Amino acid sequence: MRLCVYSVLIFALTSSAQDKPKLDLHGDRFPGLTYEQLTPAQRPIADRALSGRGTIGIFNITLRSPELSEAMRGIFGGRTEPLLSNRQNELAILSTARFWTTQYEWAVHHRVAAQAGVTEDTISAIREGRRPTTLQPDEAAIYNFLTELLNTKQVSDGAFQALKEQLGEKRIVDLIALVGFYQTVSLMMNVDRFPLSGNQKPELEAIAKPLPLASTVSFTTGNSARFTPLHSEEMTERQKAFLDLVESGKLEGGTAGPLKVLLRSPELGEAILRYGAL
């Protein structure tokens, strides 16, 4: 066992000493960057990606702006614990990819979704722009919430309450952050026309209503806020630390407005306020 670890280590050391860094980046409207083309500001970001988890799809796009690369990593990356279950995550990602008709995201995630337990019935229905009929209760709450939010830019009281019963308020914020990230990835890939790999064919047809609303949605005219304010006795240490940071004024220029909402997910909150101060 120990020998095996050592040999892997030696292999890693020797191969990194011999090979020049190799960036395997692709794009269409944003042509794939090579390592030699990178500016001194871009190189450390590429080095970190190469020595870590590698480069994800939009890396070639965001690297055009080193500042944005760093900020997006702060907002959306660097989270270690899964916030929703894999099945819930993947359902949200597929719904977002279908709404944006982003071929690459779909090609990658419909397989991951199946592995995570989203049924083939559900995946086919979303691909074809039909409402899935055999969703589990948590899936139905997520799907309905997202169809309303993405199509109408708001959600009904019914959809909010149903999701809150399934996930709780904190994970509603986490779900929105996840969708925010995948919307950003989707719009970047669509602008680039990010190419599918190898012999993959696009699976999503362009349709007018890719993520159809339920016919029964009724939007209430109420206008009171939905997330209940937290009292300090209810806050976790992490939430208190976030609040202290905001009150210390170190996040200059940040949007303090949605603090009450962001407090549900302090890691996201910090990153968002930091980006807002860019």
Residues near another protein (CB under 8 A): 29-30, 61-62, 64-65, 67-68, 70-72, 74-75, 99-101, 149, 153-155, 160, 172-173, 176-177, 179-181, 183-184, 186-188, 190-191, 222-227, 250-253, 255, 257-258, 260-262, 272, 274-278
Nearest to 31 by CA among 60, 58, 53: 60
Q: How far is the CB of 207 from another protein (least distance, A)?
A: 11
Choice between 35 and 227, CB closer to another protein: 227
Choice between 3 and 208, CB closer to another protein: 208
DSSP string of 86-142, one letter each residue: HHHHHHHHHHHHHHHT-HHHHHHHHHHHHHHT--HHHHHHHHTTPPPSS--HHHHHH
- Is residue 8 within 8 A of residue 14, CB to CB? The reply is no
Choice between 117 and 276, CB closer to another protein: 276
b/e for 129-152, b at 16 or more Cβ within 10 A? bebbeebbebbbbbbbbbbbbbee
Q: How far is the CB of 61 from another protein (least distance, A)?
A: 6
Choice between 199 and 223, CB closer to another protein: 223
Q: How far is the CB of 257 from another protein (least distance, A)?
A: 6
Q: How far is the CB of 246 from another protein (least distance, A)?
A: 11
Q: How far is the CB of 153 from another protein (least distance, A)?
A: 5
Q: How far is the CB of 2 from another protein (least distance, A)?
A: 36
Choice between 114 and 196, CB closer to another protein: 196
Residue whose token pair is 């809150």: 164
Report the alpha-carbon distance of residue 93 to residue 84 in Å, rounded.
12
Choice between 117 and 127, CB closer to another protein: 127
Q: How far is the CB of 43 from another protein (least distance, A)?
A: 16
Cβ count within 10 A of residue 19: 8
Choice between 87 and 98, CB closer to another protein: 98
Q: How far is the CB of 58 from another protein (least distance, A)?
A: 9
Choice between 8 and 41, CB closer to another protein: 41
Contacts 24+ apart (CB under 8 A), 15-21: 21/46, 21/47, 21/50
- Is residue 201 within 8 A of residue 103, CB to CB? The reply is no
DSSP string of 39-92, one letter each residue: -TTTHHHHHHHHHTT---TTHHHHTTSHHHHHHHHHHHS---S-SS-HHHHHHH
Distances (CA, A) of 112 to 54, 78, 106, 116, 215: 18, 20, 10, 6, 30
